[in-house]
Chain A
Amino acid sequence: MSGIRVSLCGKSFPDASGNGTRQVLGELGFAAERGEFVAILGPSGCGKTTLLNLIAGLDAAYEGEIALDAAAGNAAPDIGYVFQNPRLLPWRTVFENVCLVLNAPAGATALVEKLLAEAGLTEFRDAYPEKLSLGQRRRAAIVRAFAIAPDLLLMDEPFVSLDGPTAERLRAMLLKIWNARPTTVLFVTHDLDEAIALADRVLVLSESPASIVADVPIAVPRQERMAPAVLEEFRKRLRQPEKL
């Protein structure tokens, strides 16, 4: 398990014309404790995915510092990434997709079977991803990320464009798996209620170039959060900064 400290001065991309640059992320800093579940809430297109890609090491061209303090003895922390589009290899079965990312596949297949069972995917173990529904593929992507016992788990709107009840079930599944195998989570979403339901703490991002406009701990046990009064209270506190 690994904590993380992010202090960015900014991140720009070349703009469409090719001459100028477009700033996506502004000055942005936060830290997450080991084992903390942090939701990053922001409007569409504000640079949330860019932020996760920087943390995942997919893009090294940024100003600032991103530091992970891995558990002792682990040189490079393992990062699990659940992408918005599940990104399972279509030419490998569900089981092969999960086993592919393991560092030592020999001993870990029992863990994979167990995770698949917890995600309700046992009967789809040998199916190719194109034969699964979006919800099932999302579950498989979550299993894949947990299978490496990640020091840090990045999740990029993993439940977007699912119907309400399915998203609800997947959130419950995620919490169950995470409770059994705690790790630090950065969970990007634009859904207020989803952030409130899942996170220990919610960071609110501004429009692009994004910076953090609010840092709200959700200090209520998860099973009590869906009470209307509690929900309304947090909604208000999270919406407030967007009006500034």
Chain B
Amino acid sequence: MFHLHALWPRLASFFLFLLLWQLGAMALESRLLPLPEAVFAVLRDGFQSGEIPHHIGITLGRVAASFVLAMAIGSAIGIAMGRSRLLDRLFDAWLVLFLNVPALVVILLAYVWFGLIEAAAVLAVAVNKIPNVAVTLREGSRALDRDYLEMAHSFRLGSLRTFRHVVLPQLSPYFLASARSGLALIWKIVLVVELLGRSDGVGFQLHLYFQLFDVASILAYTLAFVAVVLVIEAVCFRPLDRRALRWRR
């Protein structure tokens, strides 16, 4: 997975980024753009005290819950709409509506209607992502190959075997695509949800440090969380990609 010849350009670009940051901070000499070493000091202290892992863990839990919820509900809606022209005609306008409701509105309404509780936060994030998943999976199930479905029908595979062996493998690229874009979207929305109505998590901490004008801490949290997301991408999505495509020539 990590071959040296593929690794060095990534390392080089990382150090180039640090260098530019260092030079920029030195030139500005401002409290508003701290030096990399100041940010890394905050990171180290945060990890030693356990504060950063605690809040990242809480945020990740919310991300995971909303992600699972959004993928499950969104896929079910998308597949149903892709397979049934009637359902598609009935609910297409709803989908467009929900796609275009601003995330902030959904979050505010969820808190107003259900109170400042955990379930409202997770639900608000999931509702923001469900229409995207549904649209992608609807596209996928419209693109199902009729030839294979006919084969399944004539050999009388039954709906369960057809779904598992004929339909799901054709949908897996669409699942992966919406899971990827879903993770990126969801963790950003989770931060907003936390900022508006939770008393822990990365979003809450960022809000706190924003009020203190503590840019070093804001950057420390950002770096730590982005790193976690990159690890998830490398550990979960890339192997899944390879697995999904191993049969291709």
Kindly supply a per-residue 1/0 record for chain B positions 226-249, scoring 1 wherever the CB is within 8 Å of any chain A CB and 0 otherwise. Answer: 000000000000000000001111
8 Å CB contact of B154 from A76, A81, A100, A130: A81
Query: Do A83 and B165 touch (CB < 8 A)?
Result: no
A91-B247, A100-B157, A101-B157 are contacts. A83–B169 as well, Cβ < 8 Å? no
Chain A contact residues: helix, strand, loop or mixed: loop
B17 at the interface (CB under 8 A from A): no
B147 at the interface (CB under 8 A from A): yes
Tally A-B pairs: CB < 8 A: 48
8 Å CB contact of B155 from A81, A91, A92: A81
B188 at the interface (CB under 8 A from A): no
Q: Which A residues are in CB contact (< 8 Å) with B157? A: 100-101
List the B residue with the shortest CB-CB distance to A93.
Answer: B247
Q: Which A residues are in CB contact (< 8 Å) with B247? A: 90-92, 128, 130
A85 at the interface (CB under 8 A from B): yes
Which interface class (under 10, 10 to 19, 20 to 34, 35 or more) fits A?
20 to 34
Query: Do B165 and A100 touch (CB < 8 A)?
Result: yes
The CA of A79 and the CA of B157, in the complex, are separated in Å by: 12
List the B residue with the shortest CB-CB distance to A102.
Answer: B155
The CA of A31 and the CA of B150, in the complex, are separated in Å by: 24
A79-B154, A83-B147 are contacts. A89–B165 as well, Cβ < 8 Å? yes
Shortest 10 CB-CB contacts between residues of A and residues of B: A128-B247, A91-B169, A101-B155, A81-B154, A56-B154, A87-B151, A130-B249, A91-B247, A58-B150, A87-B147
- Sample of 17 more A-B contacts, CB < 8 Å, known A56-B154, A89-B148, A91-B247: A57-B154, A58-B150, A58-B153, A76-B156, A79-B155, A80-B155, A81-B154, A83-B151, A87-B148, A87-B150, A100-B161, A101-B157, A130-B247, A130-B248, A130-B249, A131-B249, A144-B155
A residues touching B (Cβ–Cβ < 8 Å)?
53, 56-58, 76, 78-81, 83, 85, 87, 89-92, 100-101, 128, 130-131, 144, 148, 154
